[in-house]
A and B are shown apart, each in its own frame.
Chain A
């Protein structure tokens, strides 16, 4: 993983993990370029998610509640 993406993920984690409605984060890809992903339990937290962190775009995935399968 590129250093700038790694640093951006760490910064994103500090910003959003633990916010109500946020289930998690990851590194993904969008249009062939790395992006950051924020997983939401529902769409209500969408407005609190930044669109870029450390120059890396952030995409939102309203995944629903994640439970053990």
Chain B
């Protein structure tokens, strides 16, 4: 528990540092703080520079920006044991300070299941992924045509809203979560359904969907721990009132209820609008948030009625989440969910 407290304190330090940054930018009281915004920016830049590399070192648990005893910004590195990793004393002129959090926290359930992080291969489903030109969305499921396996998500996640080309890289995690092209490649874009935007008229869309070619060595078929696990291959017919669940990059595991079917909806895509028909509406607003796009929506029931694919999450508002009917998605690419059991 004390180790946990220590790690939490590190995180609080980061938050305080961020608040300090805001206050410093705010204006005339700058002089009352022990360090200036440039030092802090330098510390964040130094942390960003080293984190991806150091986090892979044996003995390193994590990094943060903190303050030393004199209140100067430093890069903090959390270690499993004293001297567990050999690190320089400074990075780009910013002091490096180590703190031992212990080996237990090196793989705490919390961190291990964070869907935004980079996962060792094979990565779970329901985690951060995206085209290099996209911030990040969710890799919803592993699907198969009986021969090859693919990652399933939205056009706007894997193909940057019609901009992607076959063979473009798919990254895990997505760029917004630190994914880099091509180091974090998980697969390559194999197909997407184009989205037709409203202009003089609104063409009818049914799908915001894309698949990327990958392998079972790169992609597993279960969510991280704490999620619903492995979806079934056989889909369920959607019904009003049905209880459903999903695991996604932003909100993780959530449960909701189908409140609308055969929905026609105008969905905003960065300044343009696209009309979708035959959609599924799920409530309440806590079911998903931006970044959960691409999540597979499955039933939450008992025995064979549980974990049956129903929809592909792609949009939402404060009060509702919108999903494409999964059968239309799977038929479009000639695939089935590569799941567990019938």
Contacts and interface: CB of A to CB of B under 8 A. Distances in A.
Nearest to A17: B264
Nearest to A24: B265
Contacts of B268: 65-68
A68 B208 contact: yes
A66 B314 contact: no
A39 B288 CA distance: 18
B259 interface: yes
A55 B136 CA distance: 45
Contacts of B321: 69
B265 A66 contact: yes
Contacts of B202: 18
Interface of A, secondary structure class, is strand
Contact of A69 (B241, B261, B263, B292): B292
A61 B262 contact: no
A24 B265 CA distance: 4
A66 B320 contact: yes
Interface string A33-68: 010010100000000000000000000011111111
A63 B317 contact: yes
Interface string A1-36: 100001001000100011000111111110000100
Chain B interface category by residue count: 35 or more
Contacts of B262: 1, 6, 9, 26-27
B22 interface: no
Nearest to A29: B240
B240 A28 contact: yes
A63 B137 CA distance: 22
B13 interface: no
Contact of A24 (B263, B270, B319): B263
A61 B275 CA distance: 18
A25 B322 contact: no
Given A61-B319, A62-B319, A68 B264 contact: no
A66 B317 contact: yes
A18 B202 CA distance: 9
Interface in B150-167: 154, 156
A18 B200 CA distance: 12
Contacts of B261: 1, 26-28
Interface string B304-327: 000000000111111111100000
A26 B260 contact: yes
B114 interface: no
A1 B290 CA distance: 31
B301 to A, nearest CB: 18
A37 B267 contact: no
Nearest to A1: B262
Given A64-B317, A68-B315, A39 B265 contact: yes
B256 to A, nearest CB: 13
B98 interface: no
Contacts of A28: 240, 259-261, 281
B320 A39 contact: yes
Nearest to B319: A63
Interface of B: 137, 154, 156, 202, 208, 240-241, 259-270, 279, 281, 288-293, 313-322
Given A26-B265, A28-B240, 18 more contacts: A18-B202, A23-B317, A24-B263, A25-B263, A26-B262, A26-B279, A28-B261, A29-B241, A37-B263, A61-B320, A64-B319, A66-B315, A67-B269, A68-B270, A68-B314, A69-B289, A69-B290, A69-B292
19 contacts: A6-B262, A9-B262, A24-B266, A25-B264, A26-B263, A27-B262, A37-B259, A37-B281, A39-B317, A61-B260, A65-B268, A66-B316, A66-B317, A67-B315, A68-B268, A69-B288, A69-B290, A69-B292, A69-B293
